[in-house]
Amino acid sequence: MGDPRVVIVGAGMSGLCMAIKLKQAGLHDVTLYEKADALGGTWRDNTYPGLTCDVPSRFYQFSFATNPGWTHLYSPGPEIRDYLERIADRYGIREQIVFGTEVTAARHDDGRWRITTSRGPDEADFLLTATGVLHHPRLPDIPGLDAFEGPTFHSARWDHDVPLKGRRVAVVGTGSTGVQITSDLAGTPSRLLLFQRTAQWILPAPNREYGRLTRAAHRRMPVLDRLGYRWHEAVISHVLSQALIKPGWQRRLIGALCRRNLNKVTDPDLRARLTPPDEPMCKRLIASGGFYDAVQRPDVEVVTDAIDHVEARGVVTADGRLHEIDVLVLATGFDAHAYVRPMDLTTSDGRTLEAAWQDGPRAYQTVALPGFPNFFMLMGPHSPIGNYSLIAIAEAQADYILGWIRRWRAGLVASMAPTADATERFNSDMREALPRTIWTSGCASWYLGKDGLPELWPWTPREHASMLRTPVFDDFETTG
Ligand code: N01
């Protein structure tokens, strides 16, 4: 059948992963469209102070391209971005990327995807989206936000031209981002105000530095990299991933570590205000080594009165107090349910992605959609994105997608899409399993979809990988 033309949308970590796998399989008619002017996805967009991956570096990397040079147990964001840049060059992917070009729509017609980009049309036999999960910043609907006279920016759009030293800075939000910013920034502004709506549990995670000797040893003995990868994979799989999905010693252990960590806060009033109302891990678990030290500094204040509105000089809380500030940082998270959109996808019979997902994003086995032939997603709905390495998940999904593309190349199929029945069976199994997870134990989080259920994988990441290793051909409608 010849080689297919493949279009990948997005040149972040998962788009690169897919492109590398295709290249290694000898498939060269591949284009990655990237709307920004640089690659790296979330590691390009986020540049806030303290940006660190909270998955250990030895596991948060491609299993086929480990990096002996990681400087820390948890790598700083710029180091991960450099790593992705180097990988793109090493595997010759950069030449395949068309930067500054947004895919706005795609329609499946006559067996091909007709693609509309901001630079003109294209066509492909396969359309693959690698558009990420946390891509669209969510701005809070706080009255008067526009009235503030000083600079205001979202954490994922950090304005590095704004000086912070010696000024009064407010951070709204205490998710992973707000915690990392606070831990790093404390001490730079003359006053740092952290506006907390809901306290969150913090797993103690001091960030150990890898010394020159360790790095040299890893360079000389690649087996150490492989061992490091397997070790962190095993710890996360056997402890954290289990704790999320069922009761047991793992859940008790992580809960106890978080509670003990909170005792580092010596002032009983502050400790009470930092005590979350829910179970550890109900919201995405935050890992940090320095947060409780930061919030106990005299120049840091945790404000727990609700924000009433913002005015020209600062933030006014419900008790009527005006907190005067110079800079306002919104670490208020992302719209995690805007998968793939705003791209318009349409099938030959007029089905749209918008309509297919009107009740929330649903997929077949996290990677495919019924009625959408030769279309696959990386990091699609219900991917195991908890606290696991998204790179390991992308690799499993890319291998699965590559399997279908190879079948196409071998002439075994011309088009493939999962059946509606198989997709419904998969989603109904998931709906049954989700209430058993810790994420439904009674908290609001970005994990929860419209139906109140988490849009997450309710089993172990290893089960996700093993599901994708064994495709069920009967679940697909194929032609050719
Ligand atoms: O966003 P979040 P994030 N008034 O949605 C608060 C990943 N990540 O950017 O809890 C006041 O978790 C909101 O309060 P509440 C990771 O997957 C990874 O921090 O809703 N406050 C909350 O405190 C993470 O989970 C790394 O009551 C308002 C905060 O804003 C995900 O990104 C590093 C508000 C939002 O927290 C998102 O984290 C960083 C309002 N109107 C992030 N609206 C890694 O290391 C919202 N909030 C891999």
In DSSP terms, 403 is beta-bridged to none
Find the angle CA(108)-CA(112)-CA(117) to the nearest 5 degrees. 70
In 3-state terms the chain splits into helix, strand, coil percentages (rounded to 5) of: 35, 20, 45
Mutational pocket test of ligand 1: of 135, 197, 305, the residue with most ligand atoms within 8 Å of the beta carbon? 197
Q: Measured from the CA of 443, which atom of ligand 1 is nearest? A: 10
Average pLDDT, the chain: 97
Query: Token pair for residue 140?
Result: 């809070």
Q: Minimal CA–CA distance to 315: which of 143, 137, 139, 141?
A: 143
Residue 1 has pLDDT above 80, yes or no: no
322-324/314-317 β-pairing: antiparallel
178 lines ligand 1 (CB under 6 A): yes
Mean pLDDT in residue range 206-222: 97
pTM: 0.96
Instruction: Evaluate whether 172 touches 329 at the Cβ level (below 8 Å).
Output: yes
Cα 205 to averaged position of ligand 1 atoms, centre (Å):
18
Environment class of 450 (CB within 10 Å of its CB; exposed 0-12, middle 13-18, buried 19+): exposed
Residue 179 Cα to ligand 1 middle (Å):
9
Q: Closest residue (by CA) to atom 13 of ligand 1?
A: 173
Q: Return the pLDDT at 453.
A: 93
- Lowest-confidence region among 52-56, 218-222, 381-385: 381-385
Long-range pairs, 154-161, Cβ under 8 A, ≥24? 154/329, 154/330, 154/331, 154/332, 155/46, 155/48, 155/181, 155/329, 155/330, 155/331, 155/332, 156/45, 156/46, 156/48, 156/334, 157/45, 158/46, 158/47, 158/48, 158/49, 160/47
Q: What is the pLDDT of residues 54-79, one digit of tens each?
A: 999 999 999 999 999 999 999 999 99
Residue 233 has pLDDT above 90, yes or no: yes
Q: Is the CB of 57 under 6 A from ligand 1?
A: no
Q: pLDDT confidence of 387, banded at 50, 70, 90?
A: confident
User: Which is the closest atom of ligand 1 to the Cα of 200?
Assistant: 10
CA 437 to each of CA 43, 293, 312, 323, 454: distance values in angstroms, whole numbers, following the listed order: 29, 31, 44, 39, 9
366: CA distance to ligand 1 center in Å? Answer: 24
Any atom of ligand 1 within 6 Å of the Cβ of 56: no
3-state secondary structure of 340: coil
Q: Determine whether the shortest distance from the Cβ of 174 to ligand 1 is under 6 A.
A: yes
Q: How confident is the model at residue 480 (pLDDT cuts 50, 70, 90)?
A: confident
| Centroid of ligand 1 to alpha carbon of 428 (angstroms) | 29
Residue pLDDT, tens place only, 279-319: 999 999 999 999 999 999 999 999 999 999 999 999 999 99
| Pocket test residue of 177, 282, 303, 316 for ligand 1, highest count of atoms within 8 A of CB | 177
